[in-house]
């Protein structure tokens, strides 16, 4: 039994509606969390919320200062903080609960949304599977709530934005040095345009997606999967936290390679 997502196609591009919803939800949660933790800032004895926020900022500052001088690192703390909170919260959303709807009948328009794919062949294959699921006891399951980072397009977009930003910083600092370090060494060409754009997003996507697949499987096996489910949920919280840390760390590494005087 698979889970389907309603999608729409516009100008040759496919948009996954649940993913867009979860991206907005994650952004709102980050905004509300930061506002909630900083609404009573004081120079005196800080409250619990301020303590938490200061700890997170210090944590991200520590990551950036591992690869750059403190004065340079300070420029990128906001970026690192935003990435860390967005990815951390996004990773955990799929663990909180699942919002799925089960359908034994589908309107033609909604069925078309479930079959939208990149190619006609893939759409036809989806339509065939949906027809089989409609006539099965469990019906067609549509997933509405998941971690945005469990979608490859989200993690690839985050990674590409970070890498493009790093190159822009390198060009602004020293165009000649950026060109020499990027294009005159075949290893650097492979690293900057193949290895980094693939490994950075795939590491995050693979870990979160695999975790959610296993959670869905354990939920489907009933009482037998209760204990393994709770164990895996705890482990998934840890994995989601580590992946947020790794993504921010690698972001700062890539930025430092472009802005440091020697790289």
User: How far apart (Å, rounded) are the C-alpha atoms in residues 91 and 66?
Assistant: 25
Q: Give the alpha-carbon dihedral of 1, 241, 66, 70, to 10 degrees.
A: 110
Burial of 160 (0-12, 13-18, 19+ CB in 10 A): middle
Contact 64, 253 (CB under 8 A): no
Read off the pLDDT band of 2 (50, 70, 90): low
Give the residue among 21, 6, 236, 1 at the shortest CA–CA distance from 146: 21
Which three-class secondary structure state does DSSP give residue 175? Answer: helix
- Residue 263 pLDDT > 60: no
Which three-class secondary structure state does DSSP give residue 9? Answer: strand
Contact 3, 143 (CB under 8 A): yes
231: how many CB neighbours lie within 10 A of its CB? 11
Q: What is the pTM of this model?
A: 0.89
In the structure encoding, which two tokens stand for residue 139, read together? 């019906």
pLDDT at 218 (0 to 100): 75
Q: Which residue has the tokens 């990674």?
A: 159
User: How far apart (Å, rounded) are the C-alpha atoms in residues 48 and 29?
Assistant: 19
pLDDT at 198 (0 to 100): 95
Query: pLDDT tens digits for 64-83?
Result: 999 999 999 999 999 999 99
- Residue 153 pLDDT > 60: yes
């Amino acid at each position: 039994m698979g889970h389907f997502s309603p999608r729409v196609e516009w100008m040759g591009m496919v948009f996954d509606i649940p993913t867009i919803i979860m991206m907005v939800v994650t952004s709102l949660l980050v905004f509300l969390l930061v506002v909630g933790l900083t609404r009573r800032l004081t120079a005196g004895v800080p409250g619990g919320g301020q303590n938490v926020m200061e700890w997170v900022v210090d944590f991200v500052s520590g990551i950036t200062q591992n690869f750059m001088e403190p004065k340079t690192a300070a420029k990128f703390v906001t970026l690192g903080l935003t990435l860390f909170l967005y990815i951390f919260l996004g990773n955990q959303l799929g663990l909180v609960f699942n919002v799925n709807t089960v359908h034994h009948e589908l309107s033609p328009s909604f069925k078309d949304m479930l079959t939208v794919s990149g190619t006609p062949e893939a759409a036809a294959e989806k339509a065939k599977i949906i027809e089989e699921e409609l006539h099965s006891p469990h019906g067609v399951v549509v997933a509405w709530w998941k971690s945005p980072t469990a979608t490859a397009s989200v993690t690839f977009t985050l990674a590409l934005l970070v890498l493009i930003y790093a190159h822009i910083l390198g060009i602004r600092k020293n165009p000649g040095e950026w060109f020499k370090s990027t294009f005159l060494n075949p290893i650097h060409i492979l690293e900057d345009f193949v290895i980094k754009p693939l490994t950075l997003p795939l590491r995050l996507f693979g870990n979160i997606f695999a975790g959610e697949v296993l959670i869905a499987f354990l939920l489907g096996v009933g009482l037998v999967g209760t204990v393994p489910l709770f164990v895996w949920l705890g482990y998934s919280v840890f994995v989601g936290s580590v992946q947020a840390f790794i993504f921010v760390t690698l972001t700062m590494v890539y930025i430092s390679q472009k802005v440091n005087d020697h790289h």
